[in-house]
């Protein structure tokens, strides 16, 4: 057989591929960890904002929602390390999943009055808008009949 200089490169490539496959196979015994940004809808309903976020596969206790005047932070995590007796996995691809999203709001809200609910993988957050501040001297415009 004639000498092929690329033969050595192919063998090295195969060796490196196998090495990384072995490393990741050992590390994936509990399944991979995936971090996602939840898909959201941000709806302006006049006096409030409504955020609807898709966060499937998470228990309500594993959700963390933080609200400031101008942002909403959503964190959630499900863990695959919960003990499951009597299971012999050959392959486990459903591992830990975490969600993280920072949403910048277009107008200030009242964080203390925010309300949230979670059902069937859907997180819904209602955020009352902060009333606009009036500047002195500007006065109220009166509608004339």
Query: Rounded to whole angstroms, how far apart are CA atoms 75 and 47?
Result: 26
CB distance 111 to 68 below 8 Å: yes
Query: Rounded to whole angstroms, how far apart are CA atoms 125 and 115?
Result: 6
pLDDT for res 132: 77
Residue located via tokens 């309300």 = 115
pLDDT for res 120: 94
Query: Rounded to whole angstroms, how far apart are CA atoms 52 and 43?
Result: 8
Strands 34-36 and 97-104: parallel
Q: Select from 92, 100, 35 the least CA-distant residue to 71.
A: 100
Residue located via tokens 């399944």 = 31
pLDDT for res 24: 53
Question: pLDDT 10s digit of each residue in the chain, 145 long?
Answer: 677 777 778 888 777 777 666 555 544 444 455 678 899 999 999 999 999 999 988 889 999 999 999 999 999 987 665 555 556 666 655 667 788 899 999 999 999 999 999 999 999 999 999 987 766 666 565 665 5
Domains, the chain, with CATH or none: 31-82+92-128 (2.60.40.790)
Task: Report the chain's terminal Cα–Cα distance, integer Å.
Answer: 101
pLDDT for res 135: 62
Could you tell me what percentage of the chain is helix, strand and coil, using 3-state DSSP and rounding each to the nearest 5? 20, 35, 45
């Amino acid at each position: 057989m004639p000498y092929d200089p690329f033969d050595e490169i192919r063998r090295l490539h195969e060796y490196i591929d196998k090495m990384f496959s072995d490393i990741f196979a050992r590390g994936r015994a509990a399944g991979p960890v995936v971090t996602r940004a939840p898909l959201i809808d941000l709806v302006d309903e006049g006096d409030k904002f409504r955020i609807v976020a898709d966060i499937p596969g998470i228990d309500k206790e594993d959700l963390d929602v933080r609200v400031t005047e101008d942002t909403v932070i959503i964190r959630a995590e499900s863990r695959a390390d919960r003990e499951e007796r009597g299971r012999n996995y050959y392959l486990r691809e459903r591992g830990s999943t975490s969600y993280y999203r920072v949403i910048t709001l277009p107008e200030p809200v009242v964080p203390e009055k925010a309300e949230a609910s979670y059902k069937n993988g859907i997180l819904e957050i209602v955020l009352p808008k902060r009333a606009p501040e009036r500047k002195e001297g500007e006065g109220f415009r009166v509608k004339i009949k």
